[in-house]
A and B are shown apart, each in its own frame.
Chain A
Amino acid sequence: MLSIVVFLPMVVAAVLLAVPRIGDRVSRWTWVVVSAIEVVLVVGLCIGYRRTPPVDGGFAYEERRSWIPTVGSSYHVGIDGFSLPLVALTTVLFAACAIYSLRETRRVRFYAALFLFLESVCLGAFVSLDLVLFFVFFDLSIVGMYFVINGWGHGQARRAALQFFLYTFIGSLALLLGFIVLYLAADPHTFDMVELTEANPLAGNGARGAVALAAIVVGLAIKTPTVPFHTWLPPAHTEAPAAGSAILAGVLLKLGTYGFVRIAMPMLPDQWRRYALVIVIVGVISVLYGALVALAQTNFKRMIAYTSVNHMGYIVLAIGAAGLVADNTEQARTLAITGAVTQMVSHGLVTGALFLLAGVLYERRRTYEIDAYGGLAGQAPVFAAVTAAAMFASLGLPGFSGFIAEFQIFTGSFASAPVYTALSVLGILITAALLLRAYQRMFLGESTNGAFPDFTRREAVSIIPLMLGSVVIGVFPRFLLDVIEPASRMLGVLVVR
């Protein structure tokens, strides 16, 4: 069942590529239909998961087949409270992008195939329970996104794509190095995540453990990205097509943060605790630096890209704080981790929506410069309202998912890292200021520069559901938190063992 969910898009992508006679129209609608089917399948997964949740530390829909037994690697997939929300997010966001891209005209067959391929790869990474398998999907996501930026981006797309590829590829290889160290430390040697988590192979091994943690953290930090590894992100986001940016920010960045909770924390608990303060500091710097640099942007898309650095910073802060043992309780730890995972989902929805909104701007006027727009609220009221909602959601206003996430992160982190948490709250202030300022300049006041048509049906159908999702999580968070919390509690226990 899980494998079908993962590989269905890839199979359809292969068919799209293999049959050259398929026209643009058919390609587009195939894409939309397949991504809709994926959403339905994942809803089915969720229902089944709620009905029979796995035991603590266990996985639902587990499948395991021998793959490379020589190195103890298998095709092992499964779902728990961390992966399910992200799997759901992935399918929703890809469906939104499919609908949004209905107007795409350039090489549609390849475009659709590429996105379907990416969807498979992202889903695969979130459900992998084997390090090699995870790495395979992780790496392929880079390849897929590279071609999206390179083939359909604008401006300096080629350069941005190359920079993106090289940078994140370095990260993935650092990750591979860490995986190899973990593999060799385990006895018997294995790449299986469940076995490695149980074995905790590098407990008490200072030097090797530090090497493994450093390699894995650098790899994931590049993907996340946190300061100082964020420099690839703004150009990649700015030059990518709207749907590509939405996927990049909404899903691919989550591979990094997901890796922290799935791999780094449970498999290297000793080292994680020892260096937790470093992680916390990196998180806080990302929060503040991302917000401050975003404040200085005149390009709307770049600004959102930098707020991603800021939002990812909260996640890093929370998982770092969860590793601080002093003054920390199990409850606070659970809260911080739950907040971090909620933030992943929330950021995916909200930033995905914001990038698609940026795409709407670009389609109308071919620029992202904030100063090129003014008074849009009068001309395009629906567009203005949705953008306002997305911006408020992004700055963490109550009633939206971001508030739930950030509230949990701050309360969960405060006890163990009060100063750092207090500092990072400043980040909210700065993002509030910059988002409101940008909104004011673009949407309020006198309209300038001619006509600006409101949402088309396609745009509305793709973007509004993302915002609705954020509101639903913001108002009724329990259904999501009930899924995440058991896994968070489990992880909290694993980290302090």
Chain B
Amino acid sequence: MDQMTDDMMVSDLLALAPEAALALAAVLGLLLGSFLPRARQWPVRVLAAVGAVTTIAMTVTVWQRDVYTLFEGSYGIDTATNTVRITVAGSILLLLAMSQPETRGNARESEFVVLLVLGGLGAILLAGANDLLVLLTGYLLASIPLYTLTAFGKDALGTEAALKFYLMGALFGTTMLFGATLLLGVGGGTDYPLLATTTYDAPHAVLGIGAVAVLSGLLFKAGAVPVHFWVPDVAQGARPAVAAIITTVPKLGAVVAIYRLGALVLDPSGLNWRLLLAIIAALSMTLGNFAAFFQTDVRRLLGYSTISQVGYLLVGVVAADRSTLALPAVLLYLAAYALTNLGVFAVVCALPRLRTLTDYTGLIRHKPALVIALIVCLLGLIGTPPTGVFVGKLMVFTAAFDAGFGWLVVLALINAVASVFYYLRWIVPAVSGKSAVDGERPGPFSVAGAVAYCAATASILIGIFAGPILNAMQGSLAVP
């Protein structure tokens, strides 16, 4: 008997190899960084890249395996987890490249890299968590490195943003813990499979409060209304590369975590969680869009844009388990969103001195390729075909309609129109008008620029090859 559990333990650990690769890269990076001279820490970056590539490679090899859970059902490995693993690892690669102009040669380069990798690992854990305690661990791991990163620039704005971010994060971490306690109390455990069977008879008021408390932490990570107000401040205050991380990576895990919690625990418990989530989705889209309207700072604008994008994502989560399209739709949208959002931020990173929309005036004369990449990515965020986000939106809307949320789809469509306005406020000056200043003198080659081209191309390719990608993303959540 003991022998057998040991074997299971070992096989469970092996199944976590993709996560382990990132963890190992982070730990080794930390060690390596402390021995390297302050000015020459690029090997840490390489190490992190190797870790991310290993994660991708190992995930690809297990992609076709059946869905299963580890550690007595507390961690699920399925298409959702695998997608987040690959997307996060891919995002880390892109972020390592596009953060170069900012952090290369910085005395704290290795810290930056290690924190980035740890934050990504936290997002993956969030996505795979099949137990409230694992979920909390994931939450903490996806949060703490990012607080630090926010203040990486050591400037006033960044510090203020970090403080706000940290206080909010601590508050919602505690709220989550409180919620988990309540659920433990009424459900008799913390793992989802158990909660799925026991919460049906639980007192609804307690159950509801507990569920909302747990959800609030996840919504905070995802940057959804009503716990969104840190997003624009952090996006504006932090360094552009850090803003890119924070508006992209934690969402990947948080949205899948909400999906899992909703489909596996809240659905069987009989709570009307769909309506709650639908309202949150509606508010996120609407508020994010309308607040973005008259922003003049590009990063702040992107901060609000990311709030609205979470709204669209949640539209798909609302349909969880009611439509077979819901899971592949949300996953495809997540992957496409990550690429497209990183593409926009890569442009921002490549032009760190351009802060406001008017700074971009006439940029197409100096940097036509970069502006075209920017246009492709921004139109992608609008949901213009044939980009990946378009296919994601189409699928998400179809799933929600199928699940009986026609009103939400109509609202989302209206929002999509409204969003055109502020994305165009950025595109228009970039393609027309004369540049007031001479603009950025182009360097011979910019890594961040290259990332932008790759992301723009890839976001279109996701749309064109949506068929095979979606096929691969079919599947169900892991239940022991």
What mask results when residues 211 to 224 of chain A are scored 1 for a CB within 8 Å of chain B, else 0?
10000000000000
Q: Name the residue among A71, A132, A183 with the largest chain B CB count within 10 angstroms.
A: A71
Q: How far is the CB of A26 from chain B (nearest CB, A)?
A: 17
Q: Please report which residues of chain B, range 29-45, place their CB below 8 angstroms from some CB of chain A when the two chains form the complex.
A: none
**Interface check A177, CB cutoff 8 A:** yes
> Which residues of A are found within 8 Å of B385, using beta-carbon distances?
132, 135-136, 139-140
A199-218: which residues lie under 8 A (CB-CB) from chain B? 211
Asked if B352 lies at the interface with its beta carbon under 8 angstroms from chain A, I say no
With the chains together, A184 CA to B379 CA distance in Å? 27
Q: Which of B431-480 contact A (CB under 8 A)?
A: 431-432, 466-467, 470-471, 474
B398 at the interface (CB under 8 A from A): yes
Does B344 count as interface, using CB distance less than 8 angstroms? no
Contact mask A1-20 → B, CB, 8 Å, 1/0?
A: 00000000000000001001
> In the complex, A67→B469 CA distance in Å?
10
How far does the Cβ of A111 sit from chain B's closest Cβ, in whole Å? 12
Assembly CA distance A315 to B363 (angstroms): 44
User: Does residue B386 face the partner (Cβ distance < 8 Å to A)?
Assistant: yes
| Contact string against B for A residues 156-183, beta-carbon threshold 8 Å, 1 for contact and 0 otherwise | 0010001001100110011011001101
Instruction: Please tell me if B75 contacts chain A, counting CB pairs below 8 Å.
Output: no
Contact partner of A169 (CB less than 8 A), chosen from B368, B417, B470, is B417
- Cα separation A136 to B390 with both chains bound (whole Å): 9
Contact A177 B409 (CB under 8 A): yes
Contact pick for B470, options A68, A132, A136, A184, CB 8 Å = A68
Alpha-carbon distance A176/B386, docked complex (angstroms): 14
Please give the distance in Å from B326's CB to the nearest CB on chain A: 12
A277 smallest CB distance to B (angstroms): 26
- Could you say which residues of chain A place their CB within 8 Å of the CB of B421? 162, 166
Chain B residues closer than 8 Å to A66, beta-carbon distance: 467
Q: Is the CB of A166 within 8 A of B467?
A: no
**A181–B400 alpha-carbon span in the complex (Å):** 11
Residues of B within 8 A of A166 (CB): 417, 420-421
Give which listed residue, B372, B379, B398, B416, contacts A143 with CB less than 8 A.
Answer: B379
B419 to A: closest C-beta gap in Å: 10
B47 at the interface (CB under 8 A from A): no
**Considering the chains assembled together, what is the distance between the CA atoms of A173 and B391 in angstroms?**
13
CA–CA, A132 and B424, complex, Å:
24
Which of chain B's residues have a CB closer than 8 A to the CB of A151?
431-432
B424: which A residues are within 8 A, CB to CB? 162, 165
Q: State whether A17 touches B397 (Cβ < 8 A).
A: no
What per-residue 1/0 map shows which CB atoms of A96-137 lie under 8 Å from chain B?
A: 000000000000000000000000000000000000100110
On chain A, the residues within 8 Å of B406 by CB distance are 211
Residues of chain A with a CB closer than 8 A to B384's CB: 139-140, 143
A68 touches B398 (CB 8 A): no
Write the chain B residue with the least CB distance to A162: B424
Interface SS majority for chain B: helix
Contact A180 B466 (CB under 8 A): no
Inter-chain contact A70/B431, CB cutoff 8 Å:
no
Of A17, A67, A170, A174, the residue contacting B467 (CB under 8 A) is A67
Chain A binding site: helix, strand, loop or mixed by DSSP? helix
**B413, A68: Cβ atoms under 8 Å?**
no
Residues of A within 8 A of B397 (CB): 176-177, 180
Q: Does A69 contact B (CB under 8 A)?
A: yes
Min distance, Cβ B28 to any Cβ of chain A, angstroms:
40
Cβ of A20 and Cβ of B471 under 8 Å apart?
A: no
Is A150 positioned at the interface, with any CB of B under 8 Å from its CB? yes
B431 proximity list for chain A (CB < 8 A): 147, 150-151
Which residues on the B side are within 8 Å of A135 (C-beta)? 385
Bound together, the chains give a CA A349 to CA B328 distance in angstroms of: 46
Once the chains are docked, how many angstroms separate the CA of A173 from the CA of B421?
15
Contact B413 A177 (CB under 8 A): yes
Minimum Cβ distance to chain A for residue B33 (Å): 40
Q: Roughly how many angstroms separate A162 CA and B424 CA in the complex, as a whole number?
A: 8
The minimal Cβ–Cβ distance linking A270 to chain B, given in whole angstroms, is: 20
Contact at B398–A136, with CB atoms within 8 Å? no
Question: Do B466 and A67 touch (CB < 8 A)?
Answer: yes
Q: Which residues of A contact B428 (CB under 8 A)?
A: 150, 158, 162
A158 contact set on B, CB distance < 8 A:
428, 432
Interface residues of A in 335-389 (CB under 8 A from B): none
Q: Is B325 an interface residue (CB 8 A)?
A: yes
Complex Cα gap A136–B379 (Å): 13
Is B229 part of the contact surface with A, judged by Cβ < 8 Å?
no
Complex Cα gap A271–B409 (Å): 22
Q: Tell which of B368, B390, B417, B467 touches A70, judged by Cβ atoms closer than 8 Å.
A: B467
Residue on B nearest A174 in the bound complex, by CB: B413
Cα A303 to Cα B431 with chains together (Å): 30
CB under 8 Å from chain B, chain A span 64-106:
66-71
3 pairs of A and B residues whose beta carbons are closest in the complex: A136-B385, A70-B470, A173-B413
**21 cross-chain CB contacts under 8 A:** A67-B467, A68-B466, A68-B470, A70-B325, A70-B395, A71-B394, A71-B398, A135-B385, A136-B386, A139-B390, A143-B379, A169-B420, A173-B414, A173-B416, A173-B417, A174-B413, A176-B397, A177-B413, A180-B398, A180-B409, A181-B401
